[in-house]
């Protein structure tokens, strides 16, 4: 699925550890577009880490904050930005048309081994603090891959690609 790169924004979606923040920074540098990270925006607003929001206020509160954040970005009339989203942001059905309205949606797809390796380095991912993170990842991917497919204008397999190759893959497919 590849559609033209709009003048608007580039939205990166995909599972935790799929490289959204890293590729977002690279694209931001290549295009001179500022990078907005929805997790960071929520953390700034709440003055709490994602992990603390989950434990103190609950996942539903976090999901509501994600929807409000996307609505805010749309009403700001944002253009020429890279937006890296939290891995669960497209899960709420009402968020998917909002993401597509906001810009060109790219699904960064990565395999379980890559995700496991990257996410094990960082503990700010409450949903993966389980006894068997591999099984958790596999179960969540089985639920989410169809969602990422539905929301994305472009599906990019990133396994085996380095940062520059992935970023150029996005720009070339557009």
- Give the total of residues touching ligand S3P (CB under 6 A): 10
Query: Angle of helix 133-151 relative to helix 95-102, nearest 10 degrees?
Result: 60
Q: How far is the CB of 7 from ligand S3P (least distance, A)?
A: 26
Three-state DSSP at 9 gives strand
Based on the shown chain and the rule CB under 6 A, indicate whether residue 43 belongs to the binding site for ligand S3P: no
Interacting residues of 163 by C-beta distance below 8 A, sequence separation 6+ = 19, 22, 23, 26
Q: Does the annotation flag 100 for ligand binding?
A: no
Residue of 19, 24, 28, 88 that binds ligand S3P (CB under 6 A): 88
- Candidate residues 19, 24, 28, 86; the one interacting with ligand S3P per rule CB under 6 A: 86
User: From CA 124, how far away is CA 112, in angstroms rounded?
Assistant: 18
How is 50-68 classified by DSSP, letter by letter? HHHHHHHH-HHHHHHHHHH
Q: Which of residues 81, 96, 125, 153 is near ligand S3P by CB under 6 A?
A: 125
Q: Looking at beta carbons only, is 89 or 154 nearer to ligand S3P?
A: 89
Position among 31, 48, 74, 127 found at the interface with ligand S3P (CB under 6 A): 127
Residue 144: CB partners within 8 Å, gap ≥ 6? 15, 87, 88, 90, 91
Residues that bind ligand S3P (CB under 6 A): 16, 20, 39, 50, 86-88, 125-127
- Binding-site annotation, residues for substrate: 39, 63, 87, 144
- Binding-site annotation, residues for Mg(2+): 21
């Amino acid at each position: 699925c590849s559609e033209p790169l709009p003048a608007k924004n580039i939205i990166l979606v995909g599972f935790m550890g799929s490289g959204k923040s890293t590729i977002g920074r690279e694209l931001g540098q290549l295009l001179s577009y500022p990078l907005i990270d929805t997790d960071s925006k929520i953390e700034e607003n709440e003055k709490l880490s994602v992990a603390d929001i989950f434990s103190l206020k609950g996942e539903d509160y976090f999901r509501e904050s994600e929807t409000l954040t996307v609505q805010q970005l749309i009403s700001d009339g944002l253009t020429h930005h890279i937006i890296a989203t939290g891995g669960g942001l497209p899960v709420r059905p009402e968020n998917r048309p909002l993401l597509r309205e906001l810009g060109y949606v790219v699904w960064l797809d990565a395999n379980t081994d890559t995700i496991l390796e990257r996410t094990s380095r960082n503990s700010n991912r409450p949903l993966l603090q389980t006894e068997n993170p591999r099984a958790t990842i596999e179960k969540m991917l089985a639920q989410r891959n169809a969602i990422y497919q539905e929301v994305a204008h472009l599906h990019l397999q990133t396994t085996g690609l380095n940062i520059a190759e992935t970023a150029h893959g996005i720009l070339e497919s557009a």
